[in-house]
Structure 1
Amino acid sequence: MRSSLLLASVVGLGLWGGIACTKTTSSGSSKASGTGAQLLSATEAAEARTNYVNYCGGCHGRDLETFVNRKWKHGESPEVLFKGIKHGYPEEGMPAFAATFTDQQITQLVSYIRGGITRQADAGAQETQGTVHRSEKLNFRLDTVATGLDVPWSMAFLPNSDMLITERSGTLYRLTQNRQLQKIDGAPEVLAQGQGGLLDVKLHPDFSKNNVLFLSYSAVKKEGGQTLSTTAIMRARLDGNSLREQKVIFEAQPYARTRHHYGSRLEFGPDGYLYFTMGDRGGTKVNPQNLGVHAGKTHRIKEDGSIPADNPFVGRADAMPSIYTFGNRNAQGMALNPATKELWLHEHGPKGGDEVNIVKKGHNYGWADVTYGIDYNGSKISDLKQKSGITDPIHVWVPSIAPSGMAFVTGDRYPGWKGSLLVGALSFKLLARLELNGDKVVREERLLQDVGRIRDVRMSPDGYVYIAVENPGIIYRLVPVK
């Protein structure tokens, strides 16, 4: 995910009721009171919106939707928000914008955000049930499968057609066939802060025989008076609505104080090994190119957590043996291409430069030596988009869509979509359909504009596409119609 939800930790549902034209000074600007919120003129509101969309919208939603009903970590006053934007919270993924905006621009941004939160909350959720959505190849409607969630991070389908859903706050749910949410006991303790929490869920390839599943999450520990976290993977056996025989089979090193860029999608390869992604944990210039740490990599392990002997860096004293690829920023989508039997993943770029990559053994994907994007505050990360020894992406999004979740369309329920790659977008709140010719992306169609921040995309065993939308958390099924 692109940066942490820092603004969500400092913005409150303020009493300021909206953005409006008001009495201005002789210079045309409305008067600011210190760092507090102010009423904005039409010109100031337009400038504030442009700055918000260009610098903040990628992480926090172009319409401020991630702010609604948040629990504010740092307080909700205009002064606290001003301080957060100006000086940042680096450990939470928020850069400082002191060199990007003037104090007056930050004050205007504070007012724009606070007013927008009020309007967004009043607007309510968009009604989508029953609407026919039209794409170039077919028409479909959205069937609401589950509600009452906050951030449903991942879905998995059980043999009896029940669904498992991870809620980022730390709860694992079973969604029954009659669409009842039931809590499953025994999930791991998580640090549900920033981008952390209970993340992906993946069934063992022989789940119908052994009931084994895998969970990725942000593990937490206390050390030296500090709260530290990392990406971890638990293996467990599902027994009714309880997890048994829990075992942590991977725990990334080192733990860190940051609260963002955990990854972490899980996928079994055709070789039977478990592949998973791990973000750079905010260590842009330190972790992705360093084989001595787990962060900023794709990993490959056996189902018990042991290391395959043919992993590319096995035997190197300076490398973590689980590493399969490196130079990755923060991949939150991974899927097996049914046509080629290769693993594909997408990863968040910074401000611009989201990528789709094909996972190749031992390859370096370049972060942060090369990038198509810049930092969130407008500063340059690298002058290079290509470099010798770096594997180029097969598709790039500029501006960023903040991709999360992906699935290849299989089966015959969606004529014209078969073989396409579906990618959810957090920032633009849409579903991207990528048409492929072999390993080339030949065109993109954007569907479900403004449906919400799509966190996961899955193909069910019965051939339907499901999407998980966050804030409010809703699971939809895409049903083709004539």
Structure 2
Amino acid sequence: MAQQDHSYVLTKDMMVRSRRNTQRGSTRSTRRSRGMAMLAQLALLTLCCALGSHALPPGIYREKVNQYDPVVVVTDMLFLSEDTFLYSEEFGLVHICQRSNGDLIKETYIDLTSVTDGGGNKGILDMQLDDDFENNQQVWIYYSRNTVSGPGDAAGDTNRVSRFTHHHNSGGLTSRLDINSEVVVWVDPEGYPDIPVSLHWHYGGQLTWGPDGKLYFSQGDKMIDPNWSSDITHFAGCIIRMNKDGTFPADNYGAQNGGAPGCWGANGLRSPWRTTWDLPTGRYIIGDVGGNDQDTAVEELHIYKPEMGFVNFGWPHCDGSNCEYTQPNNKYPVREWAHNGNAAAVIGGFVYRDTMLPPEFREAYFFADYGQGWMRYVKFDASGLNIIEDKLFDENPGPTTTMELAPDGSIWMANLYGEIYRYYSDYMEPTTPPATTAPDGATTEEPTTTTTTTTTTTTSTTTTTTTTTTTTTTTTPPGPAVRLYFEAVPADSVSHMRLDGKLVELPYVLDTYVDAYHIIEAIDDRCDTGSGNFFRFRGWSWGGPDRQIVRVNSVWRHWRLFYNNKDDPSQYNCYKLA
């Protein structure tokens, strides 16, 4: 059996703050001061992650999104729209945020601190929008619920999956999640019976929607008995597949074989903190945190496909492919790496299929290591099961706790220090205008010229005069893609705009004019206000994010940017692309 040593600190295990005061009246400031003390204690453990230079692939940039208190431990991020996102803290707070002047403005979205048993590897584990969110406004939260107070143990505490109702209100930061709307969909029947605080690890867990509309989520071995992970009668150490009403599909392996009915088709997992469905390929990808013996332990990436049937990923009898115990259902990881005497903890990510980053990153799976402090990506062969490329993306992002793909195609990550970073690129996807209708109904055909000739003949008694009038009309439709970046630069309070990657200064600071409405238009060669053809493709109101990323198809090579203020509606500026 793989060695068990519960003194280690890994993945969320390294996000330790002192256990919250068992008196529920503890304040956030008390928890934060404890977090600062623990952060200092962890400094020696995270030397491998000490911030230094940040070597990134060519054309990839990294920016810090926030400047908040470094003891805030972000367990998950979730985008509601391109400019509004949520992040959760392990002790039960969820914030709704927007970017402004290089930092974040935030409000409390929901406060679950009074009912969340946070600390160690517990708390808010994950959030997910309902797969029909636009219609039902439901948000799902996977968290550790405190049901019974008990000093020194987790008496009665248990994992649960609940859904809550989102109230849009006036939009943006005014939106809230209604705590009184909670519908408890699943409660772990095994809970966390009377165990010491030092063993509060391996709780979970990520929520994902599968191709069949079922909800999938992961749960660790809970450190109650590691053998539970390979015992199909337990929910521990397995991937759980559930109907939206909390029942379990009859074709789950556990349901068909007298086991835990929610156990889908794979168990033998130790601490599957982050998992994801890659829907186009039907792969379920699992990042499983390895064992505690730093001289022999390994981190693991697993891939499961339903056609594999039931598989056991080996824990606790195997740590990676180092396994003396074999059985027909054993499945080794597709990638593993050794601790080599250092702390390590895999943070699973996602398969990148967007177009903001250059083509070499398409269909790559991004992941990180919390303990060793790097971010990497791998690419697979046609089967999707064998790695053919394995490259470093960021050598030092800090101890990553979670990763998220943003709607604009950028990659976001959060680390132990409460820092949120965004990775982006100035790459512009080359496009060939399709022979279909473009956005807003504009044609994508090449510009056409229509010539009309009118001949007029005038006859008199002495002469005949013929006059020919030619009228030419040029229609300029959208064409190749152009990406524009608008960003505030707080250091000098000047805004800039990137036009095809070229930085130009704007005549005003974005989002500083009350009641302003910022508009970007593609126009023809006439930049004077009130004249020239134009194609308006993006606008946003005051108070929105300071950075706008716009993709548009247009053969027009001039761009007009202006704001419309109620006191001065005429100010604008015009730029010409190279």
The answer to whether TM tops 0.5 is yes
**Do structure 1's residue 336 and structure 2's residue 336 form an aligned pair?**
no
SS of structure 2 residue aligned to 1:286: helix
Deviant stretches of 4+, over 4 Å: 2-7, 56-61, 116-121, 125-128, 223-226
AA aligned to 2:210 is G
Over 3 Å counting, the alpha-carbon distance change for 1:443 and 1:57 in structure 2 is: farther
Match for residue 206 of structure 1 among 132, 148, 173: 132
1:109 paired residue number: none
CA drift of 1:60 comes to: 9.3
CA drift of 1:452 comes to: 1.3
1:441 paired residue number: 387
SS of structure 1 residue aligned to 2:282: coil
The correspondence of residues 69-468 of structure 1 with structure 2, limited to 5 A, is 70-71=17-18, 117=41, 133-135=55-57, 138-145=59-66, 147-148=68-69, 150-159=72-81, 161-178=83-100, 179-185=104-110, 187=112, 189-222=115-148, 227-239=155-167, 240-243=175-178, 244-256=180-192, 257=195, 258-316=199-257, 318-324=258-264, 325-351=266-292, 352-361=297-306, 362-372=310-320, 383-384=324-325, 386-399=326-339, 401-415=344-358, 416-437=360-381, 438-468=384-414
**Do structure 1's residue 478 and structure 2's residue 423 form an aligned pair?**
yes
AA aligned to 2:370 is L
Query: Is the 1:219–1:231 contact (alpha carbons within 8 Å) kept by the matching residues of 2?
Result: yes
CA drift of 1:138 comes to: 4.0
Counting matched residue pairs gives 375
Q: TM-score, normalised by structure 2?
A: 0.58
Q: Distance in 1 between matches of 2:3 and 2:162?
A: 25
Query: Is the 1:134–1:140 contact (alpha carbons within 8 Å) kept by the matching residues of 2?
Result: yes
Query: Is the 2:126–2:206 contact (alpha carbons within 8 Å) kept by the matching residues of 1?
Result: yes
CA drift of 1:462 comes to: 1.6
Q: Distance in 2 between matches of 1:118 and 1:339?
A: 40
C-alpha distance after superposition, 1:276-328 (max 9, x if no partner): 00000014543112222211110000122121222222254x41111112111
Q: Distance in 2 between matches of 1:413 and 1:224?
A: 50
Give the structure with the higher percent strand.
2
Over 3 Å counting, the alpha-carbon distance change for 1:224 and 1:290 in structure 2 is: farther
Q: Distance in 2 between matches of 1:58 and 1:173?
A: 25
Query: Is the 1:3–1:261 contact (alpha carbons within 8 Å) kept by the matching residues of 2?
Result: no
Query: Is the 2:219–2:272 contact (alpha carbons within 8 Å) kept by the matching residues of 1?
Result: yes
Q: Which moved more, 1:219-228 or 1:234-243?
A: 219-228
Q: Which moved more, 1:202-211 or 1:434-443?
A: 434-443
Query: Is the 2:210–2:279 contact (alpha carbons within 8 Å) kept by the matching residues of 1?
Result: no
Over 3 Å counting, the alpha-carbon distance change for 1:166 and 1:73 in structure 2 is: closer
Q: Which moved more, 1:285-294 or 1:209-218?
A: 285-294
Q: Distance in 2 between matches of 1:191 and 1:322?
A: 23
Gaps of 5+ in 1: 8-55, 75-112, 375-381
CA drift of 1:370 comes to: 2.2
**Do structure 1's residue 469 and structure 2's residue 415 form an aligned pair?**
yes
AA aligned to 1:409 is Y
The correspondence of residues 19-58 of structure 1 with structure 2, limited to 5 A, is none
Which is bigger in relative contact order (C-alpha 8 A, separation at least 6)?
1
Could you tell me the percent identity over the aligned residues? Answer: 19
CA drift of 1:167 comes to: 0.6
Q: Distance in 2 between matches of 1:4 and 1:274?
A: 31
Over 3 Å counting, the alpha-carbon distance change for 1:348 and 1:454 in structure 2 is: same
CA drift of 1:465 comes to: 0.7
**Aligned CA-pair RMSD:** 3.5
CA drift of 1:59 comes to: 6.2
2:546 paired residue number: none
Over 3 Å counting, the alpha-carbon distance change for 1:4 and 1:242 in structure 2 is: farther
Q: Distance in 1 between matches of 2:150 and 2:105?
A: 43
Q: Distance in 2 between matches of 1:155 and 1:174?
A: 10
SS of structure 2 residue aligned to 1:368: coil
Query: Is the 2:11–2:289 contact (alpha carbons within 8 Å) kept by the matching residues of 1?
Result: no
CA drift of 1:268 comes to: 0.3
SS of structure 2 residue aligned to 1:314: helix
Gaps of 5+ in 2: 22-36, 168-174, 428-578
Query: Is the 2:11–2:401 contact (alpha carbons within 8 Å) kept by the matching residues of 1?
Result: no
Q: Distance in 2 between matches of 1:58 and 1:328?
A: 15
AA aligned to 1:242 is L
Q: Which moved more, 1:460-469 or 1:170-179?
A: 170-179
Query: Is the 2:320–2:332 contact (alpha carbons within 8 Å) kept by the matching residues of 1?
Result: no
Q: TM-score, normalised by structure 1?
A: 0.69
